[in-house]
Amino acid sequence: MSCVEGLLRQPLRVWEENTLTKTLEGADGLTSIPALLHRNATKFADAPAYREKEFGIWQSWSWSEALEEIEALALGMIDLGVAEGDFVAVIGRNRPRLYWAMMSAQMCGAIPVPLYNDAAAEEMTYTLGHCGAKYVIAGDQEQVDKVMEIQEHLPQFEEMIYLDARGLRKYDHDKLRSYAQVQETGRARRDDLIADMKARIAKLDYDSTAVMLYTSGTTGNPKGVVLSNRNVIETSRTSSEFDHLRQSDDILAYLPMAWVGDFIFSVGQALWTGYCTNCPESPETMMTDLREIGPTYYFAPPRVFETQLTNVMIRMEDASKLKKRMFDHFMAHARKVGPALLDGKPVGFMDRMKYKLGDLLVYAPLKNTLGFTRVRVGYTAGEAIGPEIFDFYRSLGINLKQLYGQTEATVYITAQPDGEVRSDTVGVVCPGVELKINDTGEVYYRSPGVFVEYYKNPESTADTKDAEGWVATGDAGFIEPDTGHLRIIDRAKDVGKMADGSLFAPKYVENKLKFYPNILEAVVFGNGRDECTAFINIDLTAVSNWAERNNIAYASYQELAGHPQVLATIQSHVEETNRSVAEDEMLSGCQVHRFVVLHKELDADDGELTRTRKVRRKKIEEKFHDIITALYDGSTQISTVTEVTYEDGRKGAIKATLEIRTAAVEKVTTRMAAE
Amino acid sequence: MLDQTEGYTTADGRKIGPVVMEMKNITLRFGGVEAIKDISFDIREGEIRAIIGPNGAGKSSMLNVISGFYVPQEGQVFYQGQPRPPMKPYQVARQGIARTFQNIALFEGMTVLDNVMTGRLTHMHTGLFWQSMWKGKAEAEETVNREVAEKIIDFLEIQAIRKTPVSRLPYGLKKRVELARALAAEPSLLLLDEPMAGMNVEEKEDMSRFILDVNDEFGTTIALIEHDMGVVMDLSDRVVVMDYGKKIGDGTPDEVRGNQAVIDAYLGVAHD
C-alpha cells in the first residue's frame, strides 16, 4: 500500500476551545452580512470602509456612507423586481460598487453570484444558466457585451445593471439600467420600500445562503458552491482572531471577485473586523496602488510573489556595481538571520546590528518599492511556493505565511501560526477545523465553514461531503508527526503509480521545476509508464531579459522557446530538479527523463488552465497527445499544429517543430519497493 | 444628396448637425507644385469625416489648411459660418481646434500627465507670477485642469503610465498620449493625422474604439486622415477621397467604395 499510509495515523493537534472567544450563535443578531454592515455603520461610522483610486485620487467611503450607498442600491433593486431567493450575478473587476452590489443583493434576500470577469461568453452561458440568474450587475461595456451575446440562451434573464456607462449610450436600454439610476430610484422610493427591505433582512438567519461561488473546475463544468451566513461569518471570525486582524488594517482587493478568498478577505473578514478594502485604479496600476496603500494584511498567489522577485532581480542586474554589491551582501545576511528574527528566535547582538544596518540601506527601501512596508500578516496559497522565494520575503522581515484551503471550506483548513512558518508545510489546523486522513492518503476536514451543497447537484454533494460532515479535499497529504503540520503532496486523483509501482506525484516535480525563474509552468506525465516526461513553458519576462542581455535575437515567443541556448538552460534546470527529486526516497521514481519546451504559453482561454491558473491535465493530455506520444517513442523532434483562442474568442493555429530533449537522471538506489 | 443646412441621421442613429467648417475651392501651391487643386467639401457637427488617398495625394496639406497652418492661395475656409482670416496656430487652438501629428510631437522628457496638462494651456488664464507662487486662483485653476486631464487619462485607459516619461513609451502608447493631449483642450473639432500609421491590428482596433468613443461620449467632431482603407470605411460617416491633389470622391463609405475613380486610384490604372 501507499508509503504515505504509515504517517497518517498521527494524533491531530486540536485547537483548544477556550482560546476562542465564544460568540453565541446569533448573539447581537450578527447572523448575516447586512447585520454586520449595520453594526459597522454604527460602531465604526466614520472609519474608512472602502477606497478606490479614480481619476488619480484615492476616493474613500466610510462605513456609514457605504451603508447608505448599499441601501440605496438594494431599494432600487427591490423596485426593479428582485425577489427573495433570486440569483444576482456580479461580473467585473474589483470595485467598491461591485462589492456593495453583492451586499445589496443580500439585503433584498437575493443571492449574489460573483463570476470571473475574464471568462469568455460561452463559459458564462453555463454559470448564468445553471443558477438561473435573473439579474446581472456588470462592471463595464465588455461584460455587458458578453451577457448580451448569450442572452438568447438565458430564458430567465431579466435585467442588467451596469456601472461604467462608457460606450453604452447607443445600446438598447430595454434591459439595461445604470447603477446610479437604480440607486436614484432606490433613494426616491425609500419611504415606500424600506419596510419591505427591513423585513427581508430580518428573515436572514445563520443558515440562509450568503453567497454562491463557482469553483474553477479542473475537470468538467464548474460547480456552484452554496455558502451560508454561518460558513462565512464563523470562518471570518475565527480566522480574524487567529491572525489578530483589527479594524485599522488595510487590504488591497485585486484578486478575482469570483474567488472564495477574495470574498472572505474583502467581504467576510472586512465586515467582521471592520477594516478597509482598497481597490486599485485598474489592473495595470496594481503595483503602484499597492505601494501607495501599503496594505497591512496582504494575500497573493505564489505567482505574484515570483513575478515581483523576478522583477527585483532583473532590476538589480541593471543597478550600479556598488548598489549590486550592497544588495548581495546584505541579502546574504538577511537570509542567514532574517527568518529567525521574524520568528523571535535568539540572534547574536552583532548579527542584529548588522541586520538593522541592512534594513536601513537595503531591506526597508526594497520593501517600500514592493509595497510591503506595512504588511503585518501576509499569506500565499493556491499553489506551492518555492522555498527560495518564500525565504526571500521572510528574510526581509515580511511575515509571509502559507495557508491551505478551498472554496468548499470557505477558505480555511490549515494555516501557519506566527513563529511556525516553513515553506514545505501548509500549517496546522485552523480554529474550529478537524482534520483526518483516510487510508488512501486523502485529506478530509470538518468545520463550521463546510459548504451547504453544490447547487442543483446532489450527487456531487454526496460524493464530496459525507453524512457526518466530513469533506474530501481531493488532495493527498500527511501530517508531520512531531509538529502537527500538514504537508500536501499532490491532488489525490493525480497521484498515481509508475509502471514499476513506485509513487507518481506530478505536482511535486512540477513545483520544483517552477521554482526556477525561467520556468513559468510545467506539466509532468508518467502515470502507469516506465518513466516521467514533462512539458515546460518558459517565463517570457525572465527569458527575454536574459536573451536581451546576451544579445540573442528572437522574433516571437515560439522562436525564443525553441532557441538552443534556452533549451540548454532548461535542461540544466531539469537535471538539477532530478537530483533533488532523487533525494526523496518516496518520489525518486518521478525524475524527468525527457522533456519538451512548448511553443505556446498554456492559457485559460484555450482551456489548458483553469481561471485560477491551475493545470487541467486531462485537457492538456488530449490536446497535445501527439507531443506526448513523441516524448515516449524516442523521436528527437515533433511537428505539431495547435489551435489557439484569442481574447476576443476568435481561433487561430500555431505550427511548430519542437525539439525533444533527454535529461540526465540520477541512479536510484533506495527506491521503495512496491508491496 | 445631403441636406445643406439641417444635417442628417446616421445608420446607427446618431444625429449629425449643421456644417461647422466649409472649404470652398481651395487651391494650395508650393512654388510651381499644386498640392491641392480646387477642392471643396464640408465638415458637419458631430460627424467623423475622413480624408483618404494614396501617398502624395495632398491629404496632410489639406489637414494643414483646415488647421490654419497653411493659407491657401485661392479659395476660402469658413469656420462656424464665418470666413476665416489667416491665423497663428495658438489662435486656431483658441477657436476649439486641436490636432495630433503623423510623426508624434510630444514633449519626450515630460511625463504623460504633464504632456496631457499642456493640452490645457488654452484654458489657463492666470499669469506666470501667480502660477509660480501657486496661490489663489492659479491653484484652483490647476485643480480644475488636472481633473479634466485625469478624466481623459481614465477615458483612454493610460492610468498605468500616468507618471512615466513619454520617451520610455512604445509607439502605440505615444499615439494614444498625443490623442489625450489633444482631447485635454476639449476641442470642438479634432484633427487626426494618420492616427493608425505604423500600428498593428490590435493597436488599430484599440485606436478605432477610442476614436468612436470620443465622438460618442464628448460629441467631438473629428476629421481624420488615414491610409488604411478598411479602418476608414468602418469608422467614418463621410469620406473625401483625394488623388494627385484633386478630389475624386466624396460621400458615405458605401458611395465611395462604389466610385470608379476611387477604385482606379487605389488599385491603379494606366495613366495616359
In terms of C-beta density within 10 A (0-12 exposed, 13-18 middle, 19 or more buried), how is residue A269 classed? Answer: buried
Plot region of A181 (φ>0 → left; ψ -120 to 50 → alpha; else → beta): alpha
Plot region of B13 (φ>0 → left; ψ -120 to 50 → alpha; else → beta): left
Rounded Cα distance, A146 and A148, in Å: 5
Interior/surface letters A227-265, b for 16+ CB within 10 angstroms, e for the rest: bbbbbbbbbbbbbbebbebeeebbbbbbbbbbbbbbbbb
Set of chain B residues whose Cβ sits within 8 Å of the Cβ of A170: 12-14, 216
**Which residue, A26, A74, A64, is CA-closest to A274?**
A64
In which order are the strands placed within the sheet that holds A224-228? A209-214, A224-228, A453-454
Cα-atom radius of gyration of chain B, to the nearest Å?
19
Contact B151 A169 (CB under 8 A): no
The residue of chain A with its CA nearest to that of B149 is A55
CB atoms within 10 A of CB B85: 9
Mutation for testing the A interface, residue in B48, B159, B214 having most A CBs under 10 Å:
B159
Q: Sign of the CA dihedral A369, A246, A259, A138?
A: negative
In terms of C-beta density within 10 A (0-12 exposed, 13-18 middle, 19 or more buried), how is residue A325 classed? Answer: exposed
Domains delineated in chain A: 32-284 (3.40.50.12780), 302-373+375-449+459-491 (2.30.38.10), 496-662 (3.30.300.30)
Set of chain B residues whose Cβ sits within 8 Å of the Cβ of A167: 209, 213, 216-217
Interior/surface letters A90-122, b for 16+ CB within 10 angstroms, e for the rest: bbbbbbbbbbbbbbbbbbbbbbbbbbbbbbbbe
**Which residue, A421, A410, A43, A450, is CA-closest to A239?**
A410
> CA A309 → CA A312, A424, A515, A591, distances in Å?
5, 19, 11, 27
In terms of C-beta density within 10 A (0-12 exposed, 13-18 middle, 19 or more buried), how is residue A17 classed? Answer: exposed
Contact B160 A282 (CB under 8 A): yes
- State residue A386's pLDDT score: 79
Closest approach of chain A CAs to the CA of B151, in angstroms?
A: 6
Cell 488604411 maps to which residue? B228
Plot region of B7 (φ>0 → left; ψ -120 to 50 → alpha; else → beta): left
ipTM: 0.79
B43-99: pLDDT as tens digits: 999 999 999 888 888 898 999 999 888 999 999 999 988 898 888 888 888 889 999
Contact A166 B217 (CB under 8 A): yes
Domains delineated in chain B: 1-96+188-272 (3.40.50.300), 109-186 (no CATH)
Set of chain B residues whose Cβ sits within 8 Å of the Cβ of A55: 147, 150-151, 153-154
Contact B216 A55 (CB under 8 A): no
Q: Which three cell numbers stand for residue A587?
A: 518520489
Plot region of A85 (φ>0 → left; ψ -120 to 50 → alpha; else → beta): left
Cell 473586523 maps to which residue? A273
**Which A residues, 77 through 116, put their C-beta within 8 Å of a C-beta on chain B?**
none
Q: Which of A21-30, A265-274, B184-193, B263-272 has the lowest mean pLDDT?
A: A21-30
- State residue B271's pLDDT score: 57
**Residues A172 and A147: beta-carbon distance below 8 Å:** no
**Residues B211 and B21: beta-carbon distance below 8 Å:** no
Contact A56 B12 (CB under 8 A): no
Rounded Cα distance, A433 and A412, in Å: 8
Set of chain A residues whose Cβ sits within 8 Å of the Cβ of B159: 56, 281-282, 284-285
- Contact residues of B toward A, CB < 8 A: 12-14, 113, 146-147, 150-151, 153-155, 157, 159-160, 162, 209, 213, 216-217
Q: Is A649 on the interface with B (CB under 8 A)?
A: no
pLDDT along chain A (675 residues), means of 10: 38 39 53 95 95 94 97 97 96 96 97 93 91 95 93 93 88 90 97 96 94 81 94 94 94 94 96 96 92 95 87 87 94 92 90 95 94 94 82 92 93 92 89 89 92 93 92 89 87 83 85 87 91 93 89 90 94 92 81 93 87 84 92 90 80 88 80 41
Rounded Cα distance, B101 and B49, in Å: 17
Plot region of A342 (φ>0 → left; ψ -120 to 50 → alpha; else → beta): alpha
In terms of C-beta density within 10 A (0-12 exposed, 13-18 middle, 19 or more buried), how is residue B258 classed? Answer: exposed
Closest approach of chain A CAs to the CA of B75, in angstroms?
A: 39
Closest approach of chain A CAs to the CA of B213, in angstroms?
A: 6
Q: Is A59 on the interface with B (CB under 8 A)?
A: no
Closest approach of chain A CAs to the CA of B15, in angstroms?
A: 12
HSE-up (13 A, CA, CB side) for residue A401 = 24
Q: Is A349 on the interface with B (CB under 8 A)?
A: no
Contact A169 B13 (CB under 8 A): no
Q: Is A29 on the interface with B (CB under 8 A)?
A: no
Across the A/B interface, how many CB contacts are shorter than 8 Å? Answer: 35
Cell 525527457 maps to which residue? A594
| Residues near A123 by beta carbon (within 8 Å), at least 6 away in sequence | A116
User: Which 3 state secondary structure label does DSSP give B252?
Assistant: coil
Cα A107 from chain centroid? 28
- Quote the percentage of chain B above a pLDDT of 70: 96
Cell 505550427 maps to which residue? A655
Beta-bridge mates of residue A273: none
Q: Is A57 on the interface with B (CB under 8 A)?
A: yes
Contact B151 A57 (CB under 8 A): no
Residue B93, amino acid:
A
Closest approach of chain A CAs to the CA of B155, in angstroms?
A: 8
Q: Sign of the CA dihedral A548, A550, A551, A553?
A: negative
HEC states along A306-357? HHHHHHHHHHHHCCCHHHHHHHHHHHHHHHHHHHHHHCCCCCCHHHHHHHHH
| Residues near B254 by beta carbon (within 8 Å), at least 6 away in sequence | none
Rounded Cα distance, A125 and A121, in Å: 6
Set of chain B residues whose Cβ sits within 8 Å of the Cβ of A282: 157, 159-160
Element (H, E) at A150: helix A141-150
Contact B14 A170 (CB under 8 A): yes
- State residue A218's pLDDT score: 60
Q: What's the mean pLDDT when you consider all of chain B?
A: 88
Average pLDDT over residues B156-165: 93
Rounded Cα distance, A232 and A410, in Å: 7
The residue of chain A with its CA nearest to that of B13 is A170
CB atoms within 10 A of CB A9: 11
Q: Is A54 on the interface with B (CB under 8 A)?
A: yes
Contact A55 B150 (CB under 8 A): yes
Set of chain A residues whose Cβ sits within 8 Å of the Cβ of B13: 170
**Which residue, A637, A617, A664, A406, is CA-closest to A522?**
A617
| Residues near A624 by beta carbon (within 8 Å), at least 6 away in sequence | A535, A598, A640, A642
> CA B216 → CA A171, B213, B254, distances in Å?
12, 5, 21
Dihedral, CA atoms, A338, A344, A346, A347, nearest 10 degrees? Answer: 20
Rounded Cα distance, A387 and A427, in Å: 15
Cell 476629421 maps to which residue? B223
Set of chain B residues whose Cβ sits within 8 Å of the Cβ of A281: 159
Cell 510630444 maps to which residue? B106
Q: Is A170 on the interface with B (CB under 8 A)?
A: yes
Closest approach of chain A CAs to the CA of B159, in angstroms?
A: 7
Q: Which three cell numbers stand for residue B37?
A: 487643386
Instruction: List, in sequence order, the alpha helices (H) in B124-236.
Output: 128-133, 136-155, 171-184, 201-218, 229-235
Set of chain A residues whose Cβ sits within 8 Å of the Cβ of B147: 55
Mutation for testing the A interface, residue in B145, B154, B211 having most A CBs under 10 Å:
B154
The partner residue sitting opposite A55, judged by closest CB among B12, B154, B217, is: B154
**Residues A513 and A573: beta-carbon distance below 8 Å:** yes
The residue of chain A with its CA nearest to that of B151 is A55
Contact B154 A54 (CB under 8 A): yes
Closest approach of chain B CAs to the CA of A285, in angstroms?
A: 5
Phi, psi at A248, each rounded to 5°: -80, 0
Contact B216 A167 (CB under 8 A): yes
Contact B147 A55 (CB under 8 A): yes
Set of chain A residues whose Cβ sits within 8 Å of the Cβ of B217: 166-167, 169
**Which residue, B86, B22, B90, B26, is CA-closest to B61?**
B26
Contact B217 A285 (CB under 8 A): no
Residue A77, amino acid:
M
Contact B159 A281 (CB under 8 A): yes
**Which residue, A420, A460, A385, is CA-closest to A221?**
A460
Q: Angle of helix A63-80 relative to helix A190-203, nearest 10 degrees?
A: 100
